[in-house]
Amino acid sequence: MAQQADITAMRRAVELAARGLGATSPNPVVGCVITDASGHPVGEGFHQRAGGPHAEVHALRAAGVLARGGTAYVTLEPCNHTGRTGPCAQALIEAGVSRVVYAVADPNPQATGGADTLRAAGIEVEQGLLEDEAEAGNIAWLTSVRRGRPFVRWKYAATLDGRIAAADGTSRWISSAESRADVHRLRAEADAVVVGSGTARADDPHLAVRGVDGAVQPLRVVVDTEATAVKPGARVLDDAGPTLIAIAEDAETTLTDVVRLPRAERGLAVPALLDALHARGVRSVLLEGGPTLAGAFIAAGAVDQVVGYLAPVLLGAGPAALADAGITTLTEALRLDVTETAHIGSDIRITATLKGA
């Protein structure tokens, strides 16, 4: 069983890693804590931006000579490659640490192998401490590396009876101000925010991040198959951040920042859209609506995580959060695992992952 001191140090490393969320893409979030030979914390660090020093390097710099004979706690297996920075396994060996504890194995084929290098140098290496927490904290990057496509988080806000608008189409504001602020945090964590043509037409959404300090604006993506929903002057086309309009190969448009994609039975082919985003460096997508696009993503098996804001409001009529997901009978229902519930303002936020995702 892991010692309490090990757990405390790794929990801190997981906390540190989270500080990089939204700023490190296409690289992971990573945290590191170094303790000296008697177990006292002497250095910590986290990965702050892609191309910058890795978490281990920040922590080793802070620890200096006190790292000798100590332990390094890292949320991800130390890298073994010379990429934009040197191999962290080597840096740990040179610093003289005698033990390395890491939570999650590195799935990146270019960087993996750090554990073996450390062991070959006579360092005691342990894997798996707080693996679930570290995995959850780095889920977007880990999923994108393992699957070769962006991690997709589908977010919606609905009434307690599952409706996203009233029968007459009015929808502002179902969820509380706190939930809407929370969504800006989700946007800030994502590399791209995606909506469909129905949402673009009905709401003229801006999709930029507001109210999050130091936020990097995500790529705003509108799936506008027929190229009819986004008109010149639309708010999503302003200069608050980059924008990409995805349209069908044969659609006509005067807009310039478009990507042309093959059609699917209805709308655009979701895998082709994700490939196009991945090729642009997008590692995480926040899918914001509406129900038709969410249904297309679900039907394509392209949703990894669902974040639902449920407001204590009843409507009794009006569209549901999800439409046309290709499910007709209960045996086909998608069963999810709830990973978190939270009170956000007057609402309940439910986070769930698709089984097998």
Residue 266 binding result from Zn ion, ligand AOF, none, given CB thresholds of 5 to 8 Å by partner type? none
**In terms of CB distance, is 14 or 344 closer to Zn ion?**
14
Q: Tell the residue number behind the tokens 């906390």, with chain if given.
A: 15
Q: Tell the residue number behind the tokens 């991800």, with chain if given.
A: 76
CA torsion sign for 110, 116, 117, 123 is: positive
Of 56, 77, 133, 189, which one is the catalytic site residue? 56
Q: Regarding beta strands 347-354 and 305-311, do their DSSP bridges make them parallel or antiparallel, or are they unpaired? A: antiparallel
Please state the closest distance from residue 127 (CB atom) to ligand AOF, in A. 14
Neighbours of 213 (CB within 10 A): 5
Please state the closest distance from residue 35 (CB atom) to ligand AOF, in A. 18
Q: 163 a known binding residue?
A: no
Please state the closest distance from residue 82 (CB atom) to ligand AOF, in A. 8
Residue 191 binding result from Zn ion, ligand AOF, none, given CB thresholds of 5 to 8 Å by partner type? none
Q: 207 a known binding residue?
A: yes
Determine whether 56 is an active site residue.
yes
Q: 112 a known binding residue?
A: no
197 touches 226 (CB < 8 A): yes
What whole-number distance in Å separates Cα of residue 127 and Cα of residue 234? 50
What whole-number distance in Å separates Cα of residue 314 and Cα of residue 73? 48
Please identify the residue of the shown chain whose CB is closest to the bound ligand AOF.
Answer: 83
Question: Who contacts 2 (Cβ-Cβ below 8 Å, separation ≥6)?
Answer: 129
Residue 36 binding result from Zn ion, ligand AOF, none, given CB thresholds of 5 to 8 Å by partner type? none
7 touches 36 (CB < 8 A): no
Q: 37 a known binding residue?
A: no
Please state the closest distance from residue 111 (CB atom) to ligand AOF, in A. 3
Question: Who contacts 82 (Cβ-Cβ below 8 Å, separation ≥6)?
Answer: none
Residue 134 binding result from Zn ion, ligand AOF, none, given CB thresholds of 5 to 8 Å by partner type? none
Angle (CA) 178-179-183 rounded to 5° is 115
Return left, alpha or beta for 207; rule: phi > 0 is left, psi -120 to 50 is alpha, else beta. Answer: left
Tokens of 298: 């679900």
| Interface with ligand AOF (CB under 6 A) | 27-28, 30, 47, 54-56, 76, 79, 83-85, 88, 106, 108, 111
Q: 51 a known binding residue?
A: no
> Binding to Zn ion (CB under 5 A): which residues in 25-64?
54
Q: Does 79 bind Zn ion (CB under 5 A)?
A: yes
**In terms of CB distance, is 30 or 287 closer to Zn ion?**
30
Please state the closest distance from residue 89 (CB atom) to ligand AOF, in A. 10
Return left, alpha or beta for 249; rule: phi > 0 is left, psi -120 to 50 is alpha, else beta. Answer: alpha
Residue 28 binding result from Zn ion, ligand AOF, none, given CB thresholds of 5 to 8 Å by partner type? ligand AOF
44 touches 18 (CB < 8 A): no
**Contact residues for Zn ion (CB under 5 A)?**
54, 79, 88
Residues annotated as binding site for substrate? 171, 187, 203, 207, 210, 288
- Active-site residues: which are they? 56
Residues tagged in the binding site annotation for Zn(2+): 54, 79, 88
